[in-house]
A and B are shown apart, each in its own frame.
Chain A
């Protein structure tokens, strides 16, 4: 069957409804994951041994088991113990716990990359623990963790397709449903891939922009510079 442009347009509205859910799930999951990751990272760097042990078990357990199983578990097994969550809630919590564990390792190394002497300087001018974090440690750690964090966000963005297994009709699942009725897999899969890419690439560019700004400290790099940087391989990363 020859693919036709009209087919492409025909499927678009359905797929965009799925894409909308993909965006919502990604944002909610990412926010949860960042909060979890920051707390876990700080906890694992704290002096409370029991807390460190518990959090280490959490991180290693999550990293050592498949995300798919974790999501199934939260949606299908927790209700057996009386905890029933709707699909979106279960999906965000499941994927959030998963990415929280991975991101916590990024944040932990980001925080540790700020020299201890910075903390000492903050202490000697009288800043408290939280002030030191807020004004001295985290802003510096932020620069270091920005690229890997964006990396994880992009990965998470596409991993929301895992949530199709718990009935969430996000982009991938919407496409699969269309294929099952139209059998037009070539057009639909191409279209899904393109929609994912169109959504992800600007995020990668935004990251490039922020990284540039943070390092050059210029208020805003000219658009000419940014256009040049959009061409892969033209400027050195």
Chain B
């Protein structure tokens, strides 16, 4: 595996309305690595992803993503958003567009691809997430699992180097969780850099190269999944895992 760090998070602090959420997070991710970020609600996992996607601004620290210093106000946001793809818990598809248009929008408007070429690419990614034939369906005509796979395809079509997955299965029913997990596992195997915030401990253990445990706005402990799940060093990690496993 390539060991160049593609994401560097250094002493990052962030808060909403004066309430601190991140209290000095340090994290380094290598290209091609699959990271599972776990921890109790309110521990700052999702906020960390949102910081990397530049959806929220930080109050202190430094974040470098693929050599882009995103804490710098003059950062090339267009390049950042092409580098980082994000998938949300609630899918956030555009409800007034077909599945196909959801995917082609970024291709035609951000990357400037011609419509026909964009549709070609979109079809390819719909096949990849096993949704051929659903091109013209609107989001409300798709199941949650299907919507989430369209959302993954929408993100992938823009050819990001890093994918951030924020509890992407949390809103799905158990049967459809699996179809989304299959798609994610394939991505991991293809060498995509993945940062996955998840409550699916079994899945984290299976696909992650490294598990990061967060609590109270800091990274408490990280390591290989077999070590984290069997012999975590910190009492807080063990207490959390005992509750959820």
Contacts and interface: CB of A to CB of B under 8 A. Distances in A.
B154 interface: yes
Given A117-B90, A118-B92, A125 B81 contact: yes
A124 B155 contact: yes
A131 B106 CA distance: 10
Interface stretch (A32-40, A135-143, A188-196, A202-210): A135-143
**Size class of B's contact patch?**
20 to 34
B85 interface: yes
Nearest to A139: B96
B110 A117 contact: no
Contacts of B110: 125-127, 131
A117 B86 CA distance: 12
A224 interface: no
Interface in B162-198: none
Most chain A C-beta atoms within 10 Å of own C-beta, residue among B82, B95, B138, B151 = B95
B85 to A, nearest CB: 7
Interface string B106-118: 1001100000000
A136 B92 CA distance: 11
B144 to A, nearest CB: 15
A192 B54 CA distance: 59
Interface string A100-144: 000000000000000001101111111110010001100110010
B151 to A, nearest CB: 8
A60 to B, nearest CB: 27
Interface in A175-222: 217
A123 B81 contact: yes
Contacts of A120: 55, 88, 92
Given A125-B81, A126-B158, A135 B92 contact: no
Interface string B85-110: 11010101111100000000110011
22 contacts: A117-B88, A118-B94, A121-B88, A121-B93, A121-B94, A121-B151, A123-B53, A124-B53, A124-B84, A124-B85, A124-B86, A124-B155, A125-B85, A125-B110, A125-B155, A126-B77, A127-B109, A131-B109, A131-B110, A140-B94, A140-B95, A140-B96
Question: Which 9 A-B pairs rank lowest in CB-CB distance, beginning with the nearest?
Answer: A126-B81, A121-B92, A125-B106, A126-B110, A124-B86, A117-B92, A139-B96, A120-B55, A131-B109
Interface of B: 53-55, 77-78, 81-82, 84-86, 88, 90, 92-96, 105-106, 109-110, 138, 151, 154-155, 158
Given A120-B92, A121-B93, A125-B158, 5 more contacts: A117-B90, A121-B88, A124-B84, A125-B154, A139-B96
